[in-house]
Amino acid sequence: MAIKAPKGTKDTMPKDSFKVQYIEREFAELCRRYGFGEVRTPMFESTELFNRGVGETTDIVQKEMYTFEDLGHRSITLKPEGTSPAVRAFIESRDYAEMQPTKYYYNTPCFRYERPQAGRLREFHQFGVESFGTPDMMADAEVIALASDFLTKVGIEDIELRINSVGCRECRPVYRKALQDYLQPYYGELSETSKTRFESNPMRIIDSKDPHDQEIAQAAPDMLDYLCDDCRAAFKELKSNLDAMGIRYTIDHGIVRGLDYYTKTAFEFVTTGIGAQDTVCGGGRYDHLVEEIGGPSIPGVGFGLGKERLIILMEQKESLIEDNNAPDIAVSFIGDKARLYALGLVHELRQQGVAAIIDTLNRNLKGQMKYANKLKAGYSVVIGDDEIEHGVVTLKDMKSGEQKQINSKDITKEITK
């Protein structure tokens, strides 16, 4: 029996990898414009990092993490999200001692043991940004603007930004009590998952996926009505900043985010285009996460965005992505003497920066041309005895069919035009 990829994982083949390369390039370039530098963290971390950072009451920590004991009897976890490792790196590198803000972006694989579905795998890939060192809502608006610009850049224009405030350590306990008081009469009707959250994390009941839980939560108290003066002022400032940047948004009282570390700002970019999961990008502020992981008291804000879900959405929107893997030119030949000449020509073209291919199966000319078409070569030339003798080749545009005779030494110049 053939060995298959583990459940919840997916190979990215050449016919699709150019799409991944495209969005990686666009994201990196946009982050550069916004002043974010790339951070690369290990694929696995100490389990304690996620217990402290993500929160022991979250589904991720309780049900979804790939955790194992290594040969040194240390508890190790494949990272389920990108923020906590970035925060750990921020602390360990002592970047907090430098002039702030510190701004990172990352592009990383993540791992969660959950039921595979459209756009959600057990091994998935995540973009993200983290901005440390400022409590000002300008930073929140900046990361939201970066996410908005990126989604627009890759062709996702009909998408909605939803924002909310999840309060802080001062006002959230007051809201938590009001929420529990509201939910108490319905406790027996809640799903088993929501019952376990009633004491430990009742805000998560608001974004339960269970239909009956959602029905109960519709009339639940609104966090915005319980904000302290500082959180209320911050949310007002965030809205003003987004208005100043011309970024449209909807206030969504149901956004609480799935991780314990969020404070104040919580936001999501939402679409209904990919089936069961409608959140394409999500993030928010985390003013105490650096401190909780062992660093100084420094605020932060960021977002995460899944590549797989984004590509599905781009395909549905028919976003045009140029296949940069397609060769610039296919060099075909007739006869052994021409084969050697063609090999030398291909080698020279590659050294000059041209993506050139040659058939290595020694097929006849028809087979060579079929191969060039399959790989979507932009141009083709055929080398025969006459071409070798006169140093002149016929360059064919494979899209338009246009042909012209040129000196073989001018191929690079013609293609780069």
Amino acid symbol at 151: L
Any known ligand binding at 104? no
3-state secondary structure of 406: strand
Q: Where in the chain is the domain with CATH 3.30.930.10?
A: 14-168+228-316
Phi, psi (5° rounding) for residue 93?
A: -80, -10
Q: Contact 132/142 with Cβ under 8 angstroms?
A: no
Helices (H), 114-171: 137-153
Any known ligand binding at 257? yes
Write down the pTM of the prediction: 0.87
Longest Cα separation, the chain: 93
pLDDT of residue 272: 64
Any known ligand binding at 262? yes
pLDDT of residue 274: 57
C-alpha 269: how far from its chain's center?
A: 13
* Cα radius of gyration (the chain): 27
- The CA angle 26-27-31, to the nearest 5 degrees, is 120
Q: Where in the chain is the domain with CATH 3.40.50.800?
A: 329-416
Strand partners, 330: 357, 380
Beta pairing class for 329-333 and 379-383: parallel
Say which residues have a Cβ less than 8 Å from residue 169's Cβ, sequence separation at least 6.
263, 288
What are the strands, taking DSSP E only, across 286-341? 300-306, 329-333
Q: Kindly give the interhelix angle for 137-153 and 229-244, rounded to the nearest 10 degrees.
A: 40
The two tokens of residue 20 are: 């991944």
Any known ligand binding at 66? no
The two tokens of residue 62 are: 């309780």
pLDDT of residue 59: 65
CA–CA dist 139, 41 (Å, integer): 23
Any known ligand binding at 98? no
Any known ligand binding at 126? yes
Per-residue tens of pLDDT for the chain, all 417 residues: 789 999 999 998 988 888 999 999 999 999 999 999 999 999 999 999 998 877 665 667 777 899 999 999 999 999 999 999 999 999 999 999 999 999 999 999 999 998 887 778 999 999 999 999 999 999 999 999 999 999 999 988 778 999 999 999 899 899 989 999 999 998 898 898 888 888 878 888 887 888 898 888 888 999 999 999 999 999 999 999 999 999 999 999 888 765 667 899 999 999 866 554 478 899 999 999 999 999 999 999 999 999 998 988 888 877 767 777 889 999 999 999 999 999 999 999 999 999 999 999 989 999 999 999 999 999 999 999 888 888 888 889 998 989 988 887 888 788 777
What is the CATH number assigned to the segment(s) 329-416? 3.40.50.800
pLDDT of residue 74: 95
Burial readout 105-133 (b: 16 or more C-beta within 10 A, e: otherwise): bbbbebbbeeeeeebbbbbbbbbbbbbbb
Is the CATH number of domain 14-168+228-316 3.30.930.10? Answer: yes
CA–CA dist 90, 85 (Å, integer): 9
Any known ligand binding at 94? no
pLDDT of residue 246: 96
| Kind and range of the H or E run holding 414 | helix 411-416
pLDDT of residue 156: 86
